[in-house]
Amino acid sequence: QVQLVESGGGLVQPGESLRLSCAASRSIRNIFSMGWYRQAPGKQRELVATITSGGSTNYGDSVKGRFTISRDNAKNTIYLQMNSLKPEDTAVYYCNANGAIIEYRGWGQGTQVTVSS
């Protein structure tokens, strides 16, 4: 499996911004899809955003227009820029790699994002 380490979470007020990073232990250049998922207490893990090796992106309905996923292949890192944060964005955010073979699949340990006034 590819090892993934998230960082950048924290406590912010509603309306503020935060950028999450996910550093991978291997090249992400040809991994089919990298993404961010989140899970709030008592709720199922849900899709936040994904980005393919070709640069195509997909977003969950609740974050469209506010969040942006990006990739830096040279740094083996993906990012999640979160703007206009809302209290309902509060969750543990997990990085995911979904490659064609098992060596290029994995989950990070998660980083806590708390949005509260």
Which distant-in-sequence residues (6+ apart) come within 8 Å of 11 by Cβ? 114, 115, 116
d(CA 22, CA 80): 9
Series of mean pLDDT values for 10-residue runs along the chain (117 residues): 96 98 93 95 96 96 97 96 98 96 94 97
Would you give the DSSP letter of residue 53? T
The token pair at 53 is: 């090796």
| Residue 30, pLDDT score | 84
Strands 10-12 and 111-115: parallel
User: Which residues neighbour 42 within 8 Å (Cβ) at sequence distance 6 or greater?
Assistant: none
Alpha-carbon distance of 45 to 16, in angstroms, equals 23
Q: Are 58 and 71 in contact (CB under 8 A)?
A: no
Quick one: pLDDT at residue 97? Answer: 96
Cα–Cα distance for residue pair 41/106, rounded to 1 Å: 22
